[in-house]
Structure 1
Amino acid sequence: MLDSYHLQILERSLDAATLRHQMIANNMANIDTPHYKSKQVVFEDLLQQELAGGVSGQQRLAAYRTDSRHIPFANASGFAMPQVISNGETLMQTNGNDVDMEYEMNQLAKNQIWFNGLSQITAGSFQKLKTVIQGGGK
Structure 2
Amino acid sequence: MDFLFSKTIGILSGMLGFRSQRNKIILSNIANMDSPDYKPKDYVFKRDLSRAVADRGQLTLLKTDGKHLPADLNEISDDDFEVVETGKNVNMDTEMTHLAENHLRYNLTVEMLARKFKGLNTVLKETK
Same fold? TM cut 0.5 = yes
Identity over aligned pairs, percent? 30
SS of equivalent residue, structure 2 residue 28: helix
Alpha carbon RMSD of aligned pairs, Å?
2.9
SS of equivalent residue, structure 1 residue 128: helix
Q: In the TM superposition, what is the alpha-carbon distance from 1:5 to its structure 2 partner? A: 1.4
Unmatched 5+ residue regions in structure 1?
63-70, 91-97
Tell me the residue number matched to 1:79.
76
Match among 24, 47, 56 for residue 22 of structure 1: 24
* Number of residue pairs the alignment of both structures matches: 111
SS of equivalent residue, structure 2 residue 126: coil
Compute the TM-score of the two structures, normalised by the length of structure 2.
0.71
Q: Which has the higher helix share?
A: 2
SS of equivalent residue, structure 1 residue 22: helix
Tell me the residue number matched to 1:33.
35
What is the 5 A alignment of 1:42-57? 42-43=44-45, 46=49
Distance 1:26 1:78, change over 3 A: same
Amino acid aligned to 1:109: A
Unmatched 5+ residue regions in structure 2?
54-58
Q: Distance in 2 between matches of 1:11 and 1:102?
A: 29
Tell me the residue number matched to 2:125.
134
Q: Deviations over 1:78-131 (max 9, x none)?
A: 11533211123x3xxxxxxx1111100011111111111111000000111111
Q: Distance in 2 between matches of 1:84 and 1:32?
A: 20
SS of equivalent residue, structure 1 residue 121: helix
Q: In the TM superposition, what is the alpha-carbon distance from 1:22 to its structure 2 partner? A: 0.3
Q: In the TM superposition, what is the alpha-carbon distance from 1:133 to its structure 2 partner? A: 1.3
Compute the TM-score of the two structures, normalised by the length of structure 1.
0.67
